[in-house]
Structure 1
């Protein structure tokens, strides 16, 4: 299944980045409703809810996998 947002991507690891994305979506939702665009407001409300759930509520970072490097390999 294709994910709308891949929370395992390293870009989403810092909490402030995830919080900024959720805040931007919420502000854009409020802007659409303020302008009287109810359809776009509902669309961005759904996007904001999805992003908030994926990046804040259900976010579980994967442990970093350290790759072992072999020192015996010739260069």
Structure 2
């Protein structure tokens, strides 16, 4: 099972909160004048938005059916 398929991340609100947290961290680092950390947090935000919001496939997250 891939990390993005973990059952904790199935509800949409948790995935949105994760991305919003990373975006807030990016803004915080920018306001503190830490460009490098802001770039790292911004990259995490972009990757998280792609992985958890844009490319997320709920059918991948379903557990396999038992026969």
TM-score (ref. length: structure 1): 0.77
Is it true that 1:24 corresponds to 2:38 in the alignment?
A: no
Provide the aligned C-alpha RMSD in A: 1.5
Greater C-alpha Rg: 1
Instruction: Give the number of aligned pairs.
Output: 64
Name whichever structure is richer in helix by fraction: 2
**Residue pairs, 1:35-50, within 5 angstroms:** 35-50=32-47
5+ residue gaps, structure 1, are 69-75
**Residue pairs, 1:32-71, within 5 angstroms:** 32-62=29-59, 63-67=62-66
TM-score (ref. length: structure 2): 0.85
5+ residue gaps, structure 2, are none
What is the distance in 2 between the residues matched to 1:50 and 1:64?
Answer: 24
